[in-house]
Amino acid sequence: MKILIALPVLLASSCVLASERSTLSFSLDNDGIWGTDEDYTNGIFLSYTSAAIKPWSIFKPLSLSYWGATSLDKVEFQLGHKMWTPSDIESEVPIANDRPYAGYFHGELNYISLHPQQAQRFNVTLGSTGEGSFAGRAQQLVHSLVGSKEPKGWAYQIEDKVVGSVGYLTHLNLKREPLFGNTNWEVSNVTEANLGNFRSDVSTGMMVRFGSELGGNFGAANIGTENPFKAGMIGASNRGWFTYFGVKARYRFNDITIEGDRPGIPEPSDAYDVTLQPVQGEAVLGATWYNTYVGINVFAGTKSAEYKEATKSIYGNGGISLFAFF
């Protein structure tokens, strides 16, 4: 009972420091650490997260404080770029039964609400696939600079289209216990839902963490292979570290990077179509360290095949995030 009484007081006092901190983050995903260049092959993300805000009346239902908790609320703005390629990027003709070329350049707005026992994020994402994603030109430029294979099939990419989604993500702490020194271990549930013409899906999974300040950085690490770390979700904590491991199952209803039209494909185009695999799984292993000014996160992730014709059952990638508080 004493712990429950003290919890809001401790959170409120630490929010005074956290409210003065905005967060700037740069993140990079790439499958090069596994020696591959296929499927989800690269992602770049730049984000800015505000210091603590007092939610406007229209946004109050998005805050945990509206439902009786003492929360730290923030707003995040993110620009992101993702690309997917088939297994043989040097082929000058489209490949049957292989993942299509696809790119996604997008902006994302997140409303974040943080509490030591629950963290949640509402998001709206809007962007472009096809030529408007600039993925083909970006990969060709980077590969020419680093001397990698020249991608020759971007003429067959997913069509130019404005796409987006709305989503909700929640972390629920199930158990957190002291271990030794100032460290703790923790088990949490991570559940997410997205709806839109980019992707629609629902997923749930379990995450185990070990480290310091787990109540103050709860929710920063997600379970996924595409940009799984959100530095802006570090809340009432000025320094800390943690390692994390998570697995989740997902049911995906639609995915334009797999099912989208490809106007450059020769007829009959349906000979090159691939079929979405709706039941999917992902796992992630990572580590994070930060102090009052800067921090770093690294991760390695694996996932099951996202389309039924895939020749592999498992794909992998890794990434790094560099972030600063100011």
Q: Specify the pTM.
A: 0.90
Contact in structure between 99 and 85 (CB atoms under 8 Å) = yes
Q: How far is 127 from 254, CA to CA, in rounded Å?
A: 16
Per-residue CA distances from 179 to 11, 208, 236, 242, 269 (Å)? 21, 14, 21, 13, 58
Record the tokens describing residue 169, joined without a space.
């993500």
Contact in structure between 69 and 118 (CB atoms under 8 Å) = yes
Contact in structure between 72 and 15 (CB atoms under 8 Å) = yes
Q: How far is 295 from 291, CA to CA, in rounded Å?
A: 6
H-helix or E-strand containing 306?
none
Q: What is the pLDDT along the chain (326 residues), one digit of tens a residue?
A: 333 333 333 333 334 344 458 999 999 999 988 888 899 999 999 999 999 998 888 889 999 998 888 899 999 999 999 999 999 999 988 888 999 999 999 999 999 999 999 999 999 999 999 999 999 899 988 888 887 888 899 999 999 999 999 999 999 999 999 999 899 999 999 999 999 999 999 999 999 999 999 999 999 999 999 999 999 999 989 999 999 999 999 999 999 999 999 998 888 888 899 999 999 999 999 999 999 999 999 999 999 999 999 999 999 999 999 999 99
Q: Is 303 helix (H, G, I), strand (E, B) or coil?
A: strand
226 CB-near residues (< 8 Å, 6+ apart) = 29, 40, 43, 82
Give the chain's end-to-end CA distance (angstroms, integer): 36
Q: How far is 324 from 326, CA to CA, in rounded Å?
A: 7
- DSSP single-letter state for residue 129: -
Record the tokens describing residue 18, joined without a space.
């956290």
Record the tokens describing residue 156, joined without a space.
């067959």
Q: How far is 111 from 121, CA to CA, in rounded Å?
A: 6
Q: How far is 209 from 219, CA to CA, in rounded Å?
A: 11
The number of C-alpha atoms within 13 Å of 219 and in the hemisphere containing its C-beta is 29
Residue length of the chain = 326
Count CB neighbours of 123 within 10 A.
18
Q: How far is 235 from 217, CA to CA, in rounded Å?
A: 6
